Structure 1
Amino acid sequence: MAERLHITADRNGTVEQLLARQPGLSRRQISRLKFLPAGLLVNGIPARSVTPVKPGDDVSLWLHESSHRNPVPYRILFEDALLLVVDKPAGLVVHPSPGHEQDSMQSVLEAALGHPLYLKGRLDKDTSGILVFGKASWVPSLTKTKKRYLALCHGQVQPQVICTPLKLRDRTMVPSLDGKSALTYVTPVRSIPGGTLVSVKIEHGRMHQIRAHMASAGHPLLQDPLYGSSCECGASATEGRAMLHCAAVTLRHPVTGDRLDLAARLPDDFMALCGVSSP
Structure 2
Amino acid sequence: MSDVRSLPVPDGLEGERLDAAISRLFGFSRTRAAELIVAGDVLVDGSSAGKSDRVRAGAWLEVTLPPPPTTPMPVAEPVPGMKILHEDDDIVVVDKPIGVAAHPTVGWTGPTVLGGLLGAGHRVSTSGAAERQGIVHRLDANTTGVMVVAKSESAYSALKRAFKERTVDKRYHALVQGHPDPLRGTVDAPIDRHPSGDGRFAVVAGGKPSVTHYDTVEAFRAASLLDIKLETGRTHQIRVHMAALRHPCVGDMLYGADPTLAARLGVSRQWLHAVSLSFEHPGTGEWVTFTSDYPADLAAALDRARDES
- Fold shared, TM-score > 0.5 on shorter chain: yes
CA change 1:79–1:150 in 2 (3 A) is same
Contact 1:223–1:231 (8 Å) recurs in 2: no
- Shift of residue 135, structure 1, vs aligned partner: 1.2
- Alpha-carbon separation, structure 2, partners of 1:111 and 1:129: 20
- Alpha-carbon separation, structure 2, partners of 1:253 and 1:260: 6
Letter in 2 for 1:129: G
Letter in 2 for 1:91: G
Which ranges of structure 1 fall in alignment gaps of 5 or more residues?
Answer: 1-32, 37-63
- Shift of residue 275, structure 1, vs aligned partner: 2.2
Matched, 1:161 2:161: no
SS in structure 1 at match of 2:298:
helix
CA change 1:80–1:231 in 2 (3 A) is farther
- Alpha-carbon separation, structure 1, partners of 2:192 and 2:99: 25
Matched, 1:236 2:266: yes
Letter in 2 for 1:135: K
Contact 1:129–1:245 (8 Å) recurs in 2: yes
Matched, 1:251 2:294: no
- Shift of residue 88, structure 1, vs aligned partner: 0.2
SS in structure 1 at match of 2:120:
helix
CA change 1:210–1:82 in 2 (3 A) is same
CA change 1:80–1:190 in 2 (3 A) is same
- Alpha-carbon separation, structure 2, partners of 1:274 and 1:82: 36
- Alpha-carbon separation, structure 1, partners of 2:104 and 2:71: 12
Q: Which has the larger share of helix?
A: 2
Q: Which has the larger share of strand?
A: 1
Matched, 1:135 2:151: yes
CA change 1:223–1:231 in 2 (3 A) is farther
Task: Return the match for 1:273 from 282, 290, 301.
Answer: 301
- Shift of residue 116, structure 1, vs aligned partner: 3.6
User: What is the identity percentage for the equivalent residue pairs of Structure 1 and Structure 2?
Assistant: 29
Letter in 1 for 2:169: K
Tell which deviates more after alignment, 109-118 or 208-217: 109-118
Contact 2:214–2:227 (8 Å) recurs in 1: yes
Which ranges of structure 2 fall in alignment gaps of 5 or more residues?
Answer: 1-69, 126-133, 305-309
Contact 1:182–1:203 (8 Å) recurs in 2: yes
- Alpha-carbon separation, structure 2, partners of 1:275 and 1:129: 19
- Alpha-carbon separation, structure 2, partners of 1:98 and 1:72: 23
Q: Deviation above 6 Å: which 4+ runs of structure 1? A: none
- Shift of residue 100, structure 1, vs aligned partner: 5.1
SS in structure 1 at match of 2:265:
coil
